[in-house]
Amino acid sequence: MHPALSINGLRKVYANGVEAIKGIDLEVAQRDFFALLGPNGAGKSTTIGIINSLIRKTAGTIDIFGISIDEDFARAKLNIGVMPQEFNFNAFERTMDIVVTQAGYYGIPHSVATERAEHDLKLMGLWEKRHTRAIALSGGMKRRLMIARSIVHRPKLLILDEPTAGVDIDLRRLLWELLRTLNSEGTTIILTTHYLEEAEHLCRNVAIIDHGTIIQNTSIRELLKLLQREVFVMDLISPLVKTEDWSYGDAQIHIVDSNTLKVNTHRDQSLNDIFNHLNENGIQVSSMRPQSNRLEELFLSLTRSDPP
């Protein structure tokens, strides 16, 4: 079975000599939910533009479900749906028409396109806005419209470039569920995002690109094993008697205030042991949360270095 996406030796050098992509090799399996992460300017959007044939590559090959984009892009593109970062539809066109028109670009008959548009707008919670011009939609509704438009031709590979940028928490969670549904129904999804929590919750595998080079390509689970220490914030049931920080095993326990502790611990140290230690000292924890997202901490540690 062919992978959904296969990239070999991909390079892109711009006319001014800037080498945006430096020989990327990448494979995404069918039905995967895959994160492509990297800081601004790392090469994520350039890579997506090349896959979608909006940017001309300097070297390398790309196959979509075994179909070369160089040899038969017309057939390869039938398998690809792309949601770009920026809104790029006609703001004065009606929501329903935007989706139906997109289907027409793929040769889908109008009757079928209308039926699919109805299904997808309902899926995205936009059916009541089907006659509304896009300019009158909220930012979150426009994001959902972009997804509906990108799936109307039923692509087997969906590429989402910052799909939840600028939306509120409730809408972000709703979009997560919609994307999980699409993936569970068989759509391969490649996600770029600056919300590292999003990648950790949704994706099974990840590649991190930095300075045009992939520096990690593994599962989310294996990647997180690289994180040696984690910091947890613990809210206490009763005010502390202790007034100074202390250590327990490999854990450093810091007093934030009389009702809050910050625990910096090695990943091999059991949290249950730490809880038992606190209980033995008359300290009871009411709630606990990571100080920051685990993947975010690891991402920052991996991409802080200067370019080679």
Query: Distance between CA 77 and CA 155 in Å, rounded?
Result: 9
The share of the chain scoring above pLDDT 90, in percent, equals: 54
pLDDT for residue 307 is more than 50: no
Q: What is the pLDDT of residues 105-156, one digit of tens each?
A: 999 999 999 999 999 999 899 999 999 999 999 988 999 999 999 999 999 9
Q: Is the pLDDT of residue 223 over 90?
A: no
CB-based contact 99:152 (threshold 8 Å) = yes
* Mean pLDDT, residues 265-289 taken together: 86
CA distance 298 to 293: 9
* Residue-range domain boundaries for the chain: 5-224, 229-303
pTM of the model: 0.80
What's the Rg (C-alpha) of the chain?
Answer: 23
CA distance 186 to 168: 27
User: H or E stretch including 62?
Assistant: strand 59-64
Query: Which runs of consecutive H residues, i.e. helices, occur in 52-109?
Result: 73-76, 95-104
Confidence at residue 305, expressed as pLDDT on a 0 to 100 scale: 54
**pLDDT: is 198 or 188 the higher one?**
188
Q: How far is CA 30 from the centre of its chain?
A: 17
Residues 5-224, CATH architecture? 3-Layer(aba) Sandwich (3.40)
Query: Residue 293 pLDDT more than 70?
Result: no
Q: How many residues does the chain have?
A: 308
Task: Give the type of residue at 181.
Answer: T
The topology under which CATH files domain 229-303 is Alpha-Beta Plaits (3.30.70)
199 in Cβ contact with 35 (< 8 Å): yes
- With CA atoms as reference, report the closest residue to 39 among 159, 176, 196: 196
pLDDT tens sequence across 40-85 = 888 898 999 999 989 999 999 999 999 999 999 999 999 999 998 8
